[in-house]
């Protein structure tokens, strides 16, 4: 089976890539399969910049094609926060529960109609000696009043999707993978897939 390295240490993302790429006939390795690989500092101001930083560093490290995902949640009533700080919003230890609690407390008293938000996903494809490509996807929703659902990861329990009448964490993995920011971004790589895997020009 064809293989690609996804430069992520996030188990939730790795699981989604396994499902999304598995149905495209591609086997996924994540950085969780390489425990000694270095951390990359996310110093960019945008999802795209951070995705490029991670993908290029890991393409150099592995000397092969690597895809990195930088993603997060933008909440309109908070001026776009937590944005690129989504993973570490409530502190460097990257705690999903604390991040959710911080968002909910900042939105206290904000009515549902003003709780609009979107997930962003930027994917960078980097390979030694080649120009890095970036694609992006988004998913629109509202921040719920309280967490609901057990599936997914991160902010999924408070991300309400009106078309489904459910939070992202109440959707099955298959349902999330039909509509997510990550799925939308990956679709944009579909025409380039042979090239990504085989490294052809
Ligand atoms: O509810 C969610 N559903 C999603 O589908 C999703 N995608 C991203 N996120 C949040 O945004 C941060 C990304 O930060 P991030 O891109 O730096 O990833 P990370 O630091 O967790 O891992 P890595 O890929 O950098 O190794 C993550 O931690 C999550 O909190 C999501 N939350
Ligand atoms: Mg990160």
From first to last of its 201 residues, the chain has per-residue pLDDT tens of 788 999 999 999 999 999 999 999 999 999 999 999 999 999 999 999 999 999 999 999 999 999 999 999 999 999 999 999 999 999 989 999 999 999 999 999 999 999 999 999 999 999 999 999 999 999 999 999 999 999 999 999 999 999 999 999 999 999 999 999 999 999 999 988 878 876 544
Scanning the structure block, which residue is given the tokens 């459910």?
A: 166
Pocket of ligand 1 (CB under 6 A): 8-10, 13, 42, 69-73, 86-87, 119, 152-156, 159, 168, 180, 182
Position 192 scores a pLDDT of 84
Alpha carbon 48 to its chain's center:
11
Pocket-testing residue among 87, 138, 170, 175, ligand 1, by greatest number of atoms within 8 A of Cβ: 87
**Does the annotation count 70 as an active-site position?**
yes
Number of domains in the chain: 1
Q: Where are the beta strands (DSSP E) in the chain?
A: 2-6, 26-30, 66-75, 116-126, 133-143, 159-161, 166-167
Position 199 scores a pLDDT of 58
Range of the domain at 164: 2-198
**Minimum-distance ligand 1 atom for the alpha carbon of 84:** 14
Domain containing 143 — which CATH number? Answer: 3.90.950.10
ipTM here:
0.97
């Amino acid at each position: 089976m064809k293989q690609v390295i996804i430069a992520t240490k996030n188990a939730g993302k790795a699981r989604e890539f396994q499902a999304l790429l598995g149905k495209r006939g591609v086997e996924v390795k994540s950085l969780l399969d390489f425990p000694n690989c270095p951390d990359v500092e996310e110093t960019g101001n945008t999802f795209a910049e951070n995705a490029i930083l991670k993908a290029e560093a890991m393409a150099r490290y592995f000397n092969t094609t690597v895809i990195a995902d930088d993603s997060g949640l933008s909440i309109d009533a908070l001026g776009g926060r937590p944005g690129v700080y989504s993973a570490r919003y409530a502190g460097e230890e990257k705690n999903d529960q604390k991040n959710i609690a911080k968002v909910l407390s900042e939105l206290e008293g904000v009515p549902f109609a003003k709780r609009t938000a979107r997930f962003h996903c930027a994917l960078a494809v980097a390979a030694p000696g080649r120009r890095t490509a970036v694609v992006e996807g988004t998913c629109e929703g509202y921040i719920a009043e309280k967490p609901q659902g057990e599936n997914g990861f991160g902010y999924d329990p408070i991300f309400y999707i009106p078309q489904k009448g459910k939070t992202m964490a109440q959707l099955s993995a298959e349902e999330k993978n039909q509509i997510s920011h990550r799925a939308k971004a990956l679709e944009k790589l579909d025409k380039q897939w042979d090239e990504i895997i085989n490294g052809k020009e």
